[in-house]
């Protein structure tokens, strides 16, 4: 299976996003919003949902950070590894601001 890792314009903040160096990127490193494009495998671009995904939590384990995203359209939840260039200093603020966005699949 071919994995897709490409540049894109963020659907939320409209900034240009460069492809990731070590994984397939689907979230913006600035605002952390992503588009639900992957199925079960990062980079497979194997879903038709295309809802906005928002970060809702994160955890740090074994020296690495993972961010939990929830799709506002279908409710899918999944963990993403932090990318090297993610602006994690803003992550707590972003998560808090996205809690104001209403969607039914948060729990």
Q: Which backbone phi and psi does 3 adopt, to 5 degrees?
A: -100, 140
Q: Inform me whether the pLDDT recorded for 56 exceeds 80.
A: yes
3-state DSSP: the chain helix, strand, coil percent, rounded to 5?
10, 30, 60
Q: What is the mean pLDDT of the chain?
A: 84
Instruction: Give the distance, in angstroms, between the CA of residue 57 and the centroid of all CA atoms in the same chain.
Output: 11
3-state SS class at 88: helix
Q: pTM of the full predicted structure? A: 0.83
pLDDT digits (tens, 9 = 90+) for 17-32: 887 766 677 789 999 9
Tokens found for residue 85: 């260039």
Q: Which candidate, 85, 8, 2, places its Cα nearest to that of 42?
A: 2
Tokens found for residue 93: 């603020």
**Confidence bin at 81 (pLDDT 50/70/90):** confident
3-state SS class at 4: coil
pLDDT digits (tens, 9 = 90+) for 58-74: 999 998 999 999 999 99
Structure confidence at residue 107 (pLDDT): 46
């Amino acid at each position: 299976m071919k994995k897709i890792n490409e540049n894109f314009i963020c659907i939320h903040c409209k900034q240009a996003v460069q492809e990731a160096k070590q994984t397939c990127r689907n979230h913006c490193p600035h605002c952390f919003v992503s588009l639900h494009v992957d199925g079960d495998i990062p980079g497979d671009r194997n879903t038709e949902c295309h809802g906005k995904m928002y970060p809702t939590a994160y955890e740090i384990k074994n020296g690495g950070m993972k961010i939990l995203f929830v799709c506002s359209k279908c409710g899918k939840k999944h963990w993403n590894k932090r990318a090297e260039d993610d602006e994690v200093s803003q992550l707590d603020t972003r998560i808090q601001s996205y809690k104001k966005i209403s969607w039914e699949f948060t729990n």
